[in-house]
Structure 1
Amino acid sequence: MVRFENVGLRYGMGPEVLRDVTFGIPQHSFQFLTGPSGAGKTTLLRLLFLSLKPTRGLITMFDRDVASLGPDQVAALRRRIGIVFQDFRLLDHLTTYENVALPLRVQGMEEASYAAEVRELLGWVGLGEHMHVLPPVLSGGEKQRAAIARALISRPEILLADEPTGNVDPRLARRLLRLFVELHKTGTSVLIATHDIALMDQFDARRLVLQDGRLRIYE
């Protein structure tokens, strides 16, 4: 589904943040992306979400060379990718329900066609009683779960998550990871960026380890 070949990225004239990164995301795969703070995990996720372009190298996504895509084609590919940002990016003037439903509204879908699914998903992530609450009222963990639900509502082919358990306690972290595992079982490829080694040790999954801008893969 995704292939990076000798990808490098630098900001301006500075040193390369990523160097000679080569890896793939196969269909129906589950992987962790880890490494110390500042190693480039978020930068790699931004490349995967097509919000950054590499300085060099080749990125192929769904059999398309992303360097050759126009804005409309990039937008079409992004609709096949779900992403959970580290800072949530919920809209404070929309309720939890409205935030989760927003990707479907943007696609022009009628509420009658998705309302039941949004409610079911909010119940699945433990926010059924908070669907009509505005984000400023939610705790950090509740905001995290709302952001995860929003990323899942479009049934993405690939889900990217940047430190999705960073604002929750260990019990809830395990629950959220099991949610990602269940999503993976439905056919979605999942890539989770985390520094929580103890949490990763509870799951049998491939690890992509970033260190000083270079990537090592541990099966």
Structure 2
Amino acid sequence: MIRFENVGLRYGMGPEILRDISFQIPPSSFQFLSGPSGAGKTTLLRLLFMSLKPTRGLINVFGKDRSRITRQELPLMRRRIGIVFQDFRLLDHMTTYENVALPLRVRGREEASYRADVSELLKWVGLGERMHVLPPVLSGGEKQRAAIARALIEQPEILLADEPTGNVDPPLARRLLRLFIELNRLGTAVVIATHDLALMDQVDARRMILSGGRLDIYD
């Protein structure tokens, strides 16, 4: 689904942040992206989401060369990739339901066509009774699950999650991990960026370790 070949990235004339990165994301796969703080995990996720362009190397996304994807094509390609940011990016003036439904509203869909789907997804992530409250009322874990639901509402083929358990306690971290595992079983490829070794030990999945700008892969 996504393939990197000898990808490098630098900002301006500075040193390369990422060097000779090569890997593939197969369909329905599950992988962790780990490494020390500042190693470039978020930067690599941004390359996967196509919000950054590499300085060199090849990135192939859904069979298409990243360098040949036009600005007009990008939104359609990104709909196939869900992303959960570290800071959630929920809109405080919208309810949980409205935040999750926002990607569908932006596409111009009528609410009647998605109301049941949004409600069902919120129940699936444990927010069925919180769908009509505003984000400031939600706990950190509830905000995290709302952000995950928003990333899933368009049924992406790949889900990218940046430190999704970084601000929650261990029991909730395990609950979120089970959510990702179930999603993967339904066919979505999952990439979780995390520094939580205990979390990674709970799943038999590929580990991609960033360090010194390079990537090592352990299947």
TM-score (norm 1): 0.98
Q: In structure 2, what is the equivalent of residue 120 of structure 1?
A: 120
**Structure 1: which 5+ residue stretches go unaligned?**
none
Q: In structure 2, what is the equivalent of residue 164 of structure 1?
A: 164
Q: How far apart, in 2, do the equivalents of 1:211 and 1:91 lie?
A: 34
Q: In structure 2, what is the equivalent of residue 17 of structure 1?
A: 17
Give the partner amino acid of 1:39.
A
Give the partner amino acid of 1:78.
R
Once the two structures are TM-superposed, the CA of residue 197 in structure 1 deviates from its matched residue by 0.3
Q: In structure 2, what is the equivalent of residue 38 of structure 1?
A: 38
Q: In structure 2, what is the equivalent of residue 98 of structure 1?
A: 98
Give the partner amino acid of 1:70.
T
Q: In structure 2, what is the equivalent of residue 190 of structure 1?
A: 190
Once the two structures are TM-superposed, the CA of residue 206 in structure 1 deviates from its matched residue by 0.4
User: What SS is found at the alignment partner of 1:143?
Assistant: helix
Q: Aligned-residue CA RMSD in angstroms?
A: 0.8
User: What SS is found at the alignment partner of 1:112?
Assistant: helix
Instruction: Say whether residues 1:139 and 2:139 are aligned partners.
Output: yes
TM-score (norm 2): 0.98
Instruction: Say whether residues 1:63 and 2:63 are aligned partners.
Output: yes
**Structure 2: which 5+ residue stretches go unaligned?**
none
Once the two structures are TM-superposed, the CA of residue 112 in structure 1 deviates from its matched residue by 1.1
Q: How far apart, in 2, do the equivalents of 1:84 and 1:50 lie?
A: 14
Q: How far apart, in 2, do the equivalents of 1:122 and 1:168 lie?
A: 19
Q: How far apart, in 2, do the equivalents of 1:151 and 1:80 lie?
A: 10
Task: Summarize deviations over 1:180-211 as a string: whole Å, max 9, x none.
Answer: 11111111111000000011001000000000
Q: How far apart, in 1, do the equivalents of 2:126 and 2:165 lie?
A: 15
Once the two structures are TM-superposed, the CA of residue 127 in structure 1 deviates from its matched residue by 1.2
Once the two structures are TM-superposed, the CA of residue 43 in structure 1 deviates from its matched residue by 0.1
Instruction: Say whether residues 1:26 and 2:15 are aligned partners.
Output: no
Q: How far apart, in 1, do the equivalents of 2:204 and 2:135 lie?
A: 34
Once the two structures are TM-superposed, the CA of residue 111 in structure 1 deviates from its matched residue by 1.0
Q: How far apart, in 2, do the equivalents of 1:50 and 1:135 lie?
A: 28
User: What SS is found at the alignment partner of 2:82?
Assistant: strand
Task: Summarize deviations over 1:161-193 as a string: whole Å, max 9, x none.
Answer: 000111111111111111111111111111000
Task: Summarize deviations over 1:63-93 as a string: whole Å, max 9, x none.
Answer: 0001111111111110100000011011111
Q: How far apart, in 1, do the equivalents of 2:177 and 2:209 lie?
A: 19
Q: How far apart, in 1, do the equivalents of 2:198 and 2:2 lie?
A: 28
Identity of aligned pairs, percent?
77
Task: Summarize deviations over 1:36-59 as a string: whole Å, max 9, x none.
Answer: 000000000000011000000000
User: What SS is found at the alignment partner of 2:180?
Assistant: helix
Structure 1 segments, 4+ long, off by >2 Å, are: none
User: What SS is found at the alignment partner of 1:130?
Assistant: coil
Once the two structures are TM-superposed, the CA of residue 3 in structure 1 deviates from its matched residue by 0.3
Q: How far apart, in 1, do the equivalents of 2:137 and 2:72 lie?
A: 36
Q: How far apart, in 2, do the equivalents of 1:115 and 1:170 lie?
A: 32
Q: In structure 1, what is the equivalent of residue 181 of structure 2?
A: 181
Q: In structure 1, what is the equivalent of residue 78 of structure 2?
A: 78
